[in-house]
Structure 1
Amino acid sequence: MPATFGQVVIGPPGSGKSTYCNGLQQFYNAIGRQCCIINLDPANDRLPYSTLNSLDIRDYLTIEEIMEEKKLGPNGGLIYCFESMEESLEIFYLKIQDILKENENTYLIFDCPGQVELFTSNGTLFKIFQKLSKKFDLRLCVVNLVDSIYITSPSKYISIVLLSLRSMLMMDLPQINVISKIDMLSSYGNKEDLLPFRLDYYTEVQQLDYMQPLIEIESENTGYPYTAKKLSKLTQHLSEIIEDFNLVSFEVLCIDDKNSMVSLQTLIDKANGYIFGVSEIGGDTIWSELTRQGIMNELNMIDIQERWIDNKEEYDLAEEKKRLEAIKERELLEKEVNIQENDVHGNEEDEWKQVMKDWENATGKVATRD
């Protein structure tokens, strides 16, 4: 059996994990890549994606049952669920095996819960994926989503960077950190006052000491000056730790923007190794051709500050115009194909009539089409 590729989608609650999985499924269907979403959140009973071709952990255990039976809270119940799952993975193995039997090139997407302790302090989730990787030769990439609203606050930004670093160290897999809902960023305030630095400052995660004066001001505004000094000092030390590791950076994502999705999926395919010769086997020849033509490099040349903050409206209008032109072009192409098919059928009918007429002249009999 060839190697199996996939993504592990993690992130705090409300970061758009299930929405991302739904958009990713539609994106892969469009480029011809067979995929399957595996919901690992026993508390998520409202999935935006179709469960017809997916695997749902709630078919076997739910957080409500665990909480009632073991007298646990939501977080304790989730940890118990995954600890129980780790001890009895045989059923999970069989279900994934059935998926891969139908198509051994199926791309797996794991939709994980939003409780951050599962991928920052509790090692159960990591152990599960470690066992799955050995069993099915899984080549996974962790996609860590964080809501764009967190970068509007200096202290929250440091928090999500630290959280991302912790998950990278805990999961021990290739990881791409993503600022999701980037299209919503402009709605959180005026362009001039929204962010004190350019957007690429937040994605590159460099020179965090620039944040220190802003964090001090933010801390002083809490009304507790003694606590504010301690918080400012703590943030300074955390920033130094983050910079010492020098591991964290972010991509940006708007799930409804095609270019944004294409750019992100290219990076993910490089991170888990899918891009290296497997795309033809997977059947997504459209994606292979785009990669070969270097279109991804052109997308990376777009300035994210200009695209999502400075000139967002102009870019949105241009993208909408391109979309409408593509729809019109596709409709004209379909119309042309239908005309050609009708012409072919018409020519065949004329040829058949001529053959019957020639036969009648030669035999003196009346031809019928029985």
Structure 2
Amino acid sequence: MSKFGTIVVGPAGAGKTTFCSALISHLRANKRSCFYINLDPAAEEFAYEPDVDIKDLISLEDVMEEMGLGPNGGLIYCFEFLLDNLDFLTEPLETVTEEYLIVIDMPGQIELYTHVPILPALVKHLMRGSLNINMCAAYLLEATFIVDRPKFFAGTLSAMSAMLMLEIPHVNILSKMDLVKGTIARRDLKRFIHPDVGLLDEEVPDSTSHDTPGDDDDPYAAGNVMGGSSFRRLNRAVGQLIDDFSMVSFLQLDAQDEDSVGAILAYIDDAIQYHEAQEPKEPNDEIDTDMGDRD
């Protein structure tokens, strides 16, 4: 028997915990069972109490205090400790049935999804063996990134890196869409939903650039560090890499909109083949056909 789950990942501030709360609320409103796991050892407030909370095993604050580590090093230590004590996570999941959607809320340190092998090891453990969880990743990127096109393509590259790293079905999401409504035309928004490298060619040069004649091709010139031809060529190369792989496209999320959350859930269900594994419901055959008591 398979289990089903989604692991919610993405950079800090993307709205992962808010999305988890909105998803759980939607599931409950539609009479679906949910099992909520918090794997952020620094998280403190939740709209819904997690069924499993990593802070009951180890907290980032304790690690930083006792080990003398910084936030990033402490986070890596927490996950290494979790991998050494996986029974803490797997034992509660043993009793979860196929009717549940397992929602795993992750921290926002991007290195967990790009080059540190800890998260791939954790995902493989959950998807194999006795748990056998059909799992997809929901990668959130804040929609306000589209205001700064190089920043958007950098975020898109991080999403693609996570897809290659985790090697599981992915649903990429532009979160906080309510913050950009009215700031960009719908026609232009479609070019961000399916990232179009041509957006970088249309970037208006920064009028504050300090380029001087003859310095435009010098990568060490002050104005070219975050502007000028060298910076544009770098962004173009990143955008072309994304375009060549053709892996990343985005769904739009407004966590305050029930229909938006429901649409994201439908994509997650398709990715993990949730509905295909559900037992068909029997029709209600307990209809009272006794007419004898009527006057």
- TM class by smaller structure: 0.7 to 0.9
In the alignment, is residue 211 of structure 1 matched against residue 200 of structure 2? yes
Counterparts of 1:51-90 in structure 2 under 5 Å? 51=50, 54-90=51-87
Does the C-alpha gap of structure 1 residues 248 and 279 become closer, same or farther in structure 2, counting only changes over 3 Å?
farther
Equivalent residues in 2 for 1:127-138, closer than 5 Å = 127-135=121-129, 136-138=131-133
Question: How many residues end up aligned between the 2 structures?
Answer: 272
Q: Which amino acid aligns with 2:239?
A: S
Q: Which residue of structure 2 aligns with residue 150 of structure 1?
A: 145
- Which residue of the partner structure matches residue 173 of structure 2? 178
Partner residue in 1 for 2:223: 225
What does 1:259-338 align with in structure 2 at a 5 Å threshold? 259-278=259-278, 280=280
User: What is the RMSD computed on CA atoms of the aligned residues?
Assistant: 2.3
Listed one character per residue, the Cα deviations across residues 5-57 of structure 1 (whole Å, up to 9, x for unaligned) are 01000011111111111111111111121111100000111122233xx1111
Question: Contact (CA 8 Å) 2:98, 2:278: kept in 1 or not?
Answer: no
Contact 2:11 2:140 in 1 (8 A): yes
In terms of fraction of residues, the more helix-rich structure is: 1
* Whole-angstrom CA distance in 2 between matches of 1:232 and 1:116: 24
**Higher-RCO chain (CA-CA 8 Å, sequence separation at least 6):** 2
Give the counterpart letter for 1:230 in structure 2.
Answer: S
Question: Which residue is equivalent to 2:37?
Answer: 38
Distance 2:258 2:46 in 1: 22
Larger radius of gyration: 1
Corresponding position: 1:117 with 2:111: yes
Counterpart CA distance in 1 for 2:86 and 2:256 is 36
Gaps of 5+ in 2: 211-221, 284-292
Looking at structure 2, the residues matched to 68 and 197 of structure 1 have their Cα atoms a distance apart, in angstroms, of 50
Answering whether residue 159 of structure 2 is matched by residue 164 of structure 1, we say yes
2:216 aligns to what?
none
Q: Distance in 2 between matches of 1:144 and 1:221?
A: 34
Identity of counterpart residues, as a percentage?
29
- Aligned partners of 1:85, 1:31: CA distance in 2, in Å? 33
| 1:129 positional shift | 1.2
The match for 1:241 is 241
Residue number in structure 1 paired with 2:287: none
1:279 CA displacement: 6.7
- Is the Cα–Cα contact under 8 Å of residues 38 and 109 in structure 1 kept in the other structure? yes
SS of the residue 2:134 aligns to: strand
CA distance in 2, matches of 1:64, 1:279: 44
Distance 1:38 1:280, change over 3 A: farther
Cα distance in 2, alignment partners of residues 118 and 108 from structure 1: 20
State the Cα distance separating 1:280 from its structure 2 match.
Answer: 4.5
SS in 2 for 1:221: coil
5+ long unaligned stretches in structure 1: 286-347, 352-370
The AA in structure 2 aligned to 1:200 is K
C-alpha deviation, 1:222, in angstroms: 4.7
Is this contact kept in 2: 1:38–1:56, CA < 8 A?
yes
Matching residue's letter, 1:59: D
Sort the Cα spacing of 1:275 and 1:222 in 2 relative to 1 into closer, same or farther, 3 A.
farther
Query: Quick one: which of 178, 186, 189 aligns to 1:199?
Result: 189
Structure 1 pair 91–277 and aligned structure 2 pair: CA distance change class (3 A): closer
What is the letter of the counterpart of residue 66 of structure 2? E
Following superposition, the deviation at residue 268 of structure 1 comes to: 1.1
1:25 & 1:123 partners in 2: Cα distance? 29
Q: Which runs of 4+ in 1 moved over 3 A?
A: 194-197, 220-224
- In the TM superposition, residue 124 of structure 1 has moved relative to its aligned partner by 0.2
* Alpha carbons 2:40, 2:106 under 8 Å: kept: yes
Distance 1:96 1:251 in 2: 29
Q: Which amino acid aligns with 1:178?
A: I
Q: 1:197, CA displacement in angstroms?
A: 5.9
Q: TM-score, normalised by structure 2?
A: 0.85
Structure 1 residues 21 and 210 mapped into 2: Cα distance closer, same or farther (>3 Å)? Answer: closer
Separation in 1 of the partners of 2:186 and 2:136?
32
Letter in 2 for 1:8: I
